[in-house]
Structure 1
Amino acid sequence: MIVTVRVDDRLIHGQVALLWTKKLQADGIIVANDAAANNETQQMTLKMVAPYNVKLTIKSLSDAVQLLNNPKAKKMRIFVLVNSIKDALALVKELNEANLTVNIANAGRFDGEDIAGKLNLTKTVLVSDSELENLKALVASDNEIILQTLPDEPIKKAADLLKSHNKL
């Protein structure tokens, strides 16, 4: 069972490894990222920061979908990490699981695009025009789309933030 899909442009780091994995009681993390799946150095780095007691799997986006749609995946509490809203949308569209929580926590700061033209939804979420369209599509899905960087912060609904910026 997928406990949360998190958009985090850094994938695994201290907040994810220590705070979120514990809060979600995840016994598995799946990094769904094409670049990481094809980069041994990045895989080694992700493995070094992953919690030792949690199974880590690094897959391409399409391979992650296959793995998550396998009935055996329902037996675990899986925390899924992607690094863009685009990838979260692609993943959610292909999964056989409904009513997912998608947490857009850290996005748009390290994607190589100029931050000047991006919509600043929170201090850690900046969206370009194309990512804004992906976010709107996620909000229109039958899933809970939230923005929450740390577990002890209040949850912000993506739809409410988009409405406050006159984008929905």
Structure 2
Amino acid sequence: MIVTIRVDDRLIHGQVALLWTKKLQADGIVVANDAAAANPTQQMTLKMAAPYNVKLTIKSVEDSVKLLNNPKAEKMRIFVLVNSIKDALRLVELLDGKGLTINIANAGRFDGEDISKKLTLTKTVLVSDSEMINLKKLIDSDNEVILQTLPDEQIRKASDLLKAHNK
């Protein structure tokens, strides 16, 4: 069972490994990222950053869907990590996901696009025009789309933040 999908441009780091995995009581992490799945060095780095007591799987977005649709996955509490809103949308669409929680925590800072041309939703979430389209599609899906960097922070609905920015 997917406990949450987190958009985090850093994938696994201290907040994810120590705080979120514990808060979600996850016994598995799936990194759904095409680049990481194809890069042995990045895979090694992610494995070193992952908690020792949590099973880590690194797959392409498409291969992650196959894994997440496996009946064995229903018995686990799986924390899914993607590094962009685009990949979160792609994953949700391929899963035909409904009733999921998508937490957009850190996005748009390291994608190579001009930061000055992005809408700042929070200090850690910057959205380009193309990612805005993807975000609106996620919001329109039958899923909960929130922005929350740390477990003890207030949960903010993505739709409310867009309304506040008249988007």
TM-score calculated relative to the size of structure 1: 0.98
* Matching residue's letter, 1:52: Y
Question: CA offsets, 1:95-131, max 9 Å, x none?
Answer: 1542000000000000011100000000000000000
Once residues 111 and 97 of structure 1 are traced to their aligned partners in structure 2, the CA distance between those partners, rounded to angstroms, is: 26
Contiguous gaps of at least 5 residues in structure 2: none
SS in 2 for 1:160: helix
1:78 aligned residue:
78
SS in 1 for 2:64: helix
Once residues 148 and 78 of structure 2 are traced to their aligned partners in structure 1, the CA distance between those partners, rounded to angstroms, is: 18
Question: Which 4+ runs in 1 deviate beyond 2 A?
Answer: none
Matches within 5 A, 1:49-68: 49-68=49-68
Matches within 5 A, 1:11-160: 11-160=11-160
Once residues 108 and 96 of structure 2 are traced to their aligned partners in structure 1, the CA distance between those partners, rounded to angstroms, is: 28
Question: CA offsets, 1:118-153, max 9 Å, x none?
Answer: 000000000000000000000000000000000000
Once residues 88 and 141 of structure 2 are traced to their aligned partners in structure 1, the CA distance between those partners, rounded to angstroms, is: 12
Contiguous gaps of at least 5 residues in structure 1: none
SS in 1 for 2:126: strand
SS in 2 for 1:126: strand
Of all paired residues, the percent bearing the same amino acid is 81
- Is this contact kept in 1: 2:97–2:143, CA < 8 A? no
Deviation of 1:94 after TM superposition, in Å, equals 1.3
Deviation of 1:72 after TM superposition, in Å, equals 1.1
TM-score calculated relative to the size of structure 2: 0.99
Once residues 92 and 6 of structure 1 are traced to their aligned partners in structure 2, the CA distance between those partners, rounded to angstroms, is: 12
